[in-house]
Amino acid sequence: MKEAPRWKRASGWVDLRGRREGGLAFLLMRLTGIGLVIYLFIHLYVLRLLAQGPEAWDAFIAMAKSPLFLALDGLLILGILYHALNGVRVTLLGLGIGVPHQARLFWGVMALTLLVTAIAAYAIFTIAG
Amino acid sequence: MPTWQLRLLRGRPGGSPRLEIYRVELPAEAYLIDAVEKIWAEQDRSLLFRHACHHASCGACGVRVNGRERLMCITPLREFSPDRPIQVEPLRHFPWLGDLLVDVSPMMRRMAEVGFAIVRQDELTADRPLPEGIERITRFEDCIECGLCLSACPVMAADEAYLGPATLAAIERMLKEPRGGDTARLLTLADDPHGAWRCHSAMECTAVCPSNVDPASAIGRLRRRLIAERFRRWIGGGR
Amino acid sequence: MSYHVIVIGAGSTGAAVAHDLALRGFRVTVVERGEVASGTSGRNHCLLHSGGRYAMRDPESARECIEENMILRRIMPEALELNDGLFVALDEQDLAWKERFLAACEECGIPAREIPVRQALALEPHLNPNILAAVQVPDGVFEPFRFCLSFLATARRNGATVLTYTEVVDFVFQGRTVAGVRVRDRRTGEERVIGGDIVVNAAGPWSGRIAAMAGVDVPVVPTAGVMISVGRRWNRMVINRLNMPGDGDIIVPQRRTAIIGTTSWRVEDPDFIPIPEDHVRLLLDRAERFIPGYTRGGIRGIFAVARPLVGRRGVAADGRELSRTFECFDHAADGVEGFVTITGGKMTTARAMAEKAVDVVCAKLGLEIPCRTREVPLLSYRAFFD
Ligand SMILES: Cc1cc2nc3c(=O)[nH]c(=O)nc-3n(C[C@H](O)[C@H](O)[C@H](O)COP(=O)(O)OP(=O)(O)OC[C@H]3O[C@@H](n4cnc5c(N)ncnc54)[C@H](O)[C@@H]3O)c2cc1C
Ligand code: HEM
Ligand code: SF4
Ligand code: FES
């Protein structure tokens, strides 16, 4: 008998139906990981402006101070924090440490991520704004 | 007696599957397998599903209930409300044969490579000496080879060659209690990009396992053992 | 020789028959309407009988059991937990049976020995501390699905074909001789005819229905029983009540569970058996007498299934009185050639049932091929999926 079409299986990891904390944590980890790689390239692209002299850079910095851009910075911090903190969780779990507490660890990671992001966002908007 | 609504995935390979509602009257003390068997007995003889033991021992009746992997035989109807349909779908990550039926042979073949089934210790004796009057203890391994963990694992979705939680847990059990097995071969089997290292710690295997196997922890212990072996090779040269 | 034998049913009986046939060199096709062991065989109490349970009332069954018990230990170790069993006296009435029980076991060749109550309680710490006597016997526990799969895996290795989800809907005749069966594939809905030289009916409690399709009568009485599995393995050994077999008198441990059983009542349709609530209460009540606090680990599953007891005319309907031994019918006696029914018995005696049935098949065909299933070890159940 035939199996389900391949594209369905390759994307199966996105399917959150029936999944709990662990599955959600994995999905977010992968999405933030991919997001960070994309960000890295954007970041390198932006740094190229430095080679084009102070005007180009200053124009970019002016734009970077717009509220929309600052909000994106907040998002970036959110992603980095989640990825890094959950990275520690996953490293431990992957070695069989703390498996019975994995769900609580996940919520801990989430809480810490949100808390630090909130502080950072406050700092960004008060300093930049 | 309450009337339950079941929304079963129906269809055959080659066609497109659809969800169909069935109504079945059963007491709240009954189990999901009773409802499915009753639908088969009284409403639709073409319904495909697997079952044998009805007490979580044979591992045949794994499905997804409202998205989550469960054994039908120990899923009590009283968990649900008669007003809302209970959705039952086949396990993921196995070849689909139709309706709720999947082909478990890919998993069985992998388990056969590990080759464990019977334990020689049990929780009543643990590590203490056997009481007088008993020569030995034998007990089935906890793993009932139901495949719930494979269906729940997001890595399984992307990598068909992944050994899977049940098999990795079995390897770890064998290493702990080798029963004459070839431990070097088992370590090689696990020490593979599609083996212990493929796991992404989504922890879903342990969360759905109906039989206390805790594959996620087993995979962790297996990795520690593999890392230790590697260190030993670097330092001492050879196993 | 290339006689083709069709076996109806892939329960323990059909599986063992297929194995025996294949070993003796027949071409074999097993036809099963559901999954392997989806009938009575999958869902029973899982007791590998020592025969102790039948020693007093049904010595013939008891002898069969102990003999087969010892054979299965040799040929299918992967499907068995071997931790013995205890017959315990819960009250004075039970105690009064003790001497007769020991004598009956001796008579049937069952190695039974009384052990001091204190030792029994040391072995089984959760057992009711007020027991008055304990006798140890070589009971065991099997995993019923694996039990059937092992036989079928070996049969397959020896050339047999196993068709699951394939239902027999009719017989094909040539005159008064069965020439095959008409089957319906549950997956495709398609019907086709499978031709065979002999058809063996191993459909357990459904064997009466199958026989009726061929126009003959088999006196099989589907007699249901309820079992309850709990969330904790309380006992290491099988715990039986030292008395005549009755309702709720045995707790079988398996893996991480313990199963109390069973009851007995006659059912018309074994396809779906509603569970009588009073049976559940009775069983839980009885379990409490063996193991106080039995349900403290939670109830895990409640299930019922029907035995294929072979009826005798004029016997009480509840089934406890019927012998647990088996019967092989050559329907030539009913005027239908090429058709054999093997039914009754126990899971424990499946191999012996198969030997008998295949002996009958051989005799019908004028063949003399010795049975080898006593010696040949079975493959692992997993080999079924190769
Ligand atoms: C409550 C209870 C507890 C028991 N406990 C024990 C125990 O502890 N130990 C023990 O040794 N024995 C026990 N037994 C007895 C034992 O379970 C049975 O004797 C044995 O399983 C019968 O096996 P079978 O293969 O003859 O029947 P089944 O297992 O019922 O096999 C018959 C098969 O035929 C199939 N079938 C039916 N109709 C068709 C058709 N038209 N086409 C194709 N296939 C068909 C069915 O699907 C079924 O799989 C118990 C029985 C009961 C009821
Ligand atoms: C302190 C910083 C970081 C830590 C602790 C960390 C940790 C981890 C860990 C443990 C994993 C494995 C997760 C798994 O097994 O599923 C992982 C995956 C990944 N990380 Fe990071 N990481 C960090 C920073 C980054 C950065 C800066 C990037 C991007 C440039 C990045 C991109 C990725 C990607 C793409 C994956 C793969 C995700 C997957 O396959 O599911 N990470 N990270
Ligand atoms: S590990 Fe658990 S979930 Fe996986 S097959 Fe074994 S019993 Fe089933
Ligand atoms: S029927 Fe055996 S595990 Fe559910």
Residue B223 sits in the same domain as residue B119: yes
Q: Does C349 have pLDDT greater than 90?
A: yes
Each residue's pLDDT tens digit, B27-83: 999 999 999 999 999 999 999 999 999 999 999 999 999 999 999 999 999 999 999
pLDDT at B130: 66
Residue B89 sits in the same domain as residue B148: no
Domain-ending residue, one of B46, B68, B102: B102
Indicate yes or no: CB of C277 within 8 angstroms of CB of B27.
yes
pLDDT at B137: 77
pLDDT at B134: 67
Each residue's pLDDT tens digit, B120-135: 665 555 555 666 666 6
Residues in chain B closer than 8 A to A100 (CB atoms): 217
> Mean pLDDT highest for which of B138-142, B234-238, C173-177?
C173-177
Each residue's pLDDT tens digit, A19-33: 999 999 999 999 999
Percent of chain C scoring above 70 in pLDDT: 96
Each residue's pLDDT tens digit, A37-55: 999 999 999 998 888 889 9
Residue B147 sits in the same domain as residue B184: yes
Instruction: Give distance in angstroms: CA of B215 to centre of ligand 3.
Output: 8
Chains with 3 or more CB pairs under 8 A to chain C = B
Residues in chain A closer than 8 A to B160 (CB atoms): 9
Q: What is the CATH number of the domain that holds C2?
A: 3.50.50.60
Of A3, A25, A26, the CB nearest to B95: A3
Distance, CA of C298 to CA of A21 (rounded, Å): 26
pLDDT at B127: 54
- Domain for residue C288, yes or no? no
pLDDT at A10: 66
* Nearest-CA residue for atom 36 of ligand 2: A33
Question: What residue type is A84 in one-letter code?
Answer: A
Residue B136 sits in the same domain as residue B179: yes
Size of interface B-C (CB pairs under 8 A): 155
Bridge partner list, C74: none
Residue B115 sits in the same domain as residue B156: yes
* Nearest-CA residue for atom 2 of ligand 3: B209
- Domain for residue C31, yes or no? yes
Domain-ending residue, one of B71, B102, B133: B102
Before C262, cis peptide (omega within 30)?
A: yes
Q: Which ligand is nearest to the CA of C35?
A: 1
- Domain for residue C73, yes or no? no
Residue B191 sits in the same domain as residue B172: yes
**Cα–Cα distances in Å, from B73 out to A129, C204, C254?**
61, 22, 16
Of B14, B95, B214, the CB nearest to A99: B214
- The helix or strand, by DSSP H or E, that contains position C174, with its residue range, turns out to be strand C166-174
* Nearest-CA residue for atom 21 of ligand 2: A33
- What 8-state DSSP symbol labels residue C41? T
Helix axes A102-128, A67-94, angle to 10 degrees: 160
Pairing of strands C85-89, C238-241: parallel
pLDDT at B133: 65
Helix axes B165-176, B215-236, angle to 10 degrees: 60
The band of A5, judged by pLDDT with boundaries at 50, 70 and 90, is: very low
Residues in chain B closer than 8 A to A19 (CB atoms): 67, 152, 154, 202, 204
Size of interface A-B (CB pairs under 8 A): 100
Instruction: Give distance in angstroms: CA of B115 to centre of ligand 4.
Output: 21
**Cα–Cα distances in Å, from C171 out to B187, C189, C241?**
54, 18, 45
Listed as own residue / partner, the contacts of C57-61 with beta carbons closer than 8 Å and 24 or more positions apart are C57/C244, C57/C245, C58/C323, C58/C324, C58/C325, C59/C104, C59/C107, C59/C108, C60/C323, C60/C325, C61/C323, C61/C324, C61/C325, C61/C346, C61/C349
Collapse the DSSP code of C135 into the 3-class scheme (helix H, G, I; strand E, B; otherwise coil) and give the result: strand
Residue B60 sits in the same domain as residue B80: yes
- Averaged confidence pLDDT in chain B: 92
The tally of domains found in chain B comes to 2
Q: How much is the ipTM here?
A: 0.94
The band of C321, judged by pLDDT with boundaries at 50, 70 and 90, is: low
- Averaged confidence pLDDT in chain A: 90
Q: What is the CATH number of the domain that holds B84?
A: 3.10.20.30
The tally of domains found in chain C comes to 1
CA dihedral B63, B69, B74, B78 (to 10 degrees): -100
Q: Does C363 have pLDDT greater than 60?
A: yes
Q: Which domains can be identified in chain A, with CATH numbers?
A: 20-128 (1.20.1300.10)
Residue B228 sits in the same domain as residue B196: yes
Residue-number span of the structural domain to which B80 is assigned:
3-102
Residue-number span of the structural domain to which C157 is assigned:
1-46+143-219+324-386
Domain-ending residue, one of B36, B71, B102: B102
Q: Does B118 have pLDDT greater than 80?
A: no
Residue B109 sits in the same domain as residue B94: no
**Cα–Cα distances in Å, from A22 out to A106, B168, B173, C153, C308?**
8, 19, 23, 38, 48
pLDDT at A14: 85
Q: What is the CATH number of the domain that holds B154?
A: 1.10.1060.10
Report which ligand 4 atom has the smallest distance to the Cα of C145. Answer: 2
pLDDT at B129: 63
Indicate yes or no: CB of C236 within 8 angstroms of CB of B12.
no
Residue B215 sits in the same domain as residue B148: yes
Of C123, C227, C302, the CB nearest to B29: C302
